[in-house]
Amino acid sequence: MDLKDKVAIVTGGGSGIGLATAQAFLEKGAKVVIADYNEESGSKAAEDLSQYGDVIFEKVDVSDEEQVKNVIATAVDKFGRLDVMFNNAGIGVQGETHKLSYEDYHKVIKVNQDSVFFGSKHAIPEMQKVGGGAIINTASILGSVGEPTAFAYNASKGAVNLMTKSVALQYAKDNIRVSAVAPGYVESGMVNRDALGDYYDKLVDKHPIGRLGEPHEIAHAVIFLAENEFTTGTTLLVDGGYTTQ
Ligand SMILES: NC(=O)C1=CN([C@@H]2O[C@H](COP(=O)(O)OP(=O)(O)OC[C@H]3O[C@@H](n4cnc5c(N)ncnc54)[C@H](O)[C@@H]3O)[C@@H](O)[C@H]2O)C=CC1
Ligand SMILES: CC(=O)C(C)=O
């Protein structure tokens, strides 16, 4: 798919992987809606990225179906169509499972997993109207390998992998391609030396390539998944070899 003049929504576009991907879509000539619940970073992102093309910010909590439905309507209202839905916003909660509250568990499921349901459900009719499109979900290495202190996160990202396959199978007939990107640890708002201290170096050691990823390296994979018309139903690992060992 040629992304020039296409319209993409990037959830979690105010920071990290989403921010880098919003820029990458703009550099390809797409129009971008940054959907993020952090008003400050989201509006700053849109302002900073406006040098690359048409971009707006919408404050959205992706765990709220009505808000996701509304941002899709806004994208179509403002830019005339929807071609790419990047369901990327996510959060993590660390801790031992026997101490995890239902509220914390469920919050992760709502933001990481329910959002993919809402973003798919409401994007599909708009993509059907324009003859197809691409839905791309951010999974994780932790969607396929376990992490002792990431019970809810593991659950949500594992679900994202299979939700991706289910929607891909249902809507291939409509030329809607559905894929996921599964990053290893990537420098971002949630992963950085300040936040992780000594654990940062332990994480580096788990990546055979000898470093953590950069957001633009994930953005590059997302662009591939959006553009490549023979790719659907796949989860593309971009993990510096983390899951190879
Ligand atoms: N950084 C990493 O090592 C990895 C990250 N991921 C996934 O990548 C995605 C992006 O995360 P990063 O860029 O790393 O983190 P980040 O913290 O830099 O960015 C996440 C963005 O999502 C937004 N957000 C959070 N909850 C939201 C909600 N309910 N509604 C709307 N926006 C919300 C935040 O405001 C933030 O701008 C997440 O799904 C995360 O699970 C996956 C694998 C590795
Ligand atoms: C840190 C993180 O979000 C991963 C690996 O999914």
| pLDDT, average across residues 70-89 | 98
Would 150 be classed as within a structural domain? yes
Asked, for residue 178, whether it belongs to a domain, the answer is yes
Query: CATH number for the domain including 176?
Result: 3.40.50.720
126 lies in a domain? Answer: yes
Q: What is the pLDDT of residue 190?
A: 84
- Cβ atoms of 127 and 82 within 8 Å: the answer is yes
Q: Which domain holds residue 192?
A: 7-244
User: Residue 205, SS3?
Assistant: helix
Ligand 1 contact via 45 beta carbon (within 6 Å)? no
Q: Is residue 184 part of a domain?
A: yes
Residue whose tokens read 């993409």: 8
**Ligand 1 mean position, distance from CA 171 (Å):** 26
> How high is the pLDDT of residue 215?
98
- The one-character DSSP state at 192 is S
The pLDDT of residue 189 is 84
Query: At 23, is the pLDDT very low, low, confident or very high (cuts 50, 70, 90)?
Result: very high
Mean pLDDT of 65-93: 98
| Beta carbons of 231 and 172 less than 8 angstroms apart | no
Distance CA 71, CA 218 (A): 24
Residue 2 inside a domain? The answer is no
Q: What is the pLDDT of residues 188-237, one digit of tens each?
A: 988 999 989 999 999 999 999 999 999 999 999 999 999 999 999 999 99
Among the atoms of ligand 1, which is closest to the Cα of residue 14?
Answer: 37
- State the pLDDT at residue 40: 98
Ligand 1 geometric centre to CA of 125 (Å): 26
Residue 90 CA: nearest ligand 2 atom is 3
The answer to whether the CB of 140 falls within 8 A of the CB of 150 is: no
Residues 6+ apart with CB under 8 A from 204: 210, 211, 212
The count of domains in the chain is: 1
Reported as a pLDDT band with limits 50, 70 and 90, residue 243 is: very high
Ligand 2 site, residue 140, Cβ cutoff 6 A: yes
Active-site residues, by number, are 153
Among 1-5, 130-134, 188-192, the least confident range: 188-192
Q: State the pLDDT at residue 244.
A: 96
* 173 CA to centre of ligand 1 in angstroms: 31
Do residues 71 and 35 lie in contact, with contact meaning Cβ atoms separated by under 8 Å?
A: yes
- Judge whether 1 lies within some domain: no
Residue 180, ligand 1, Cβ within 6 A: no
Would you say residue 11 lies in a domain? yes
* Measured distance CA(190)–CA(208) in Å, rounded: 21
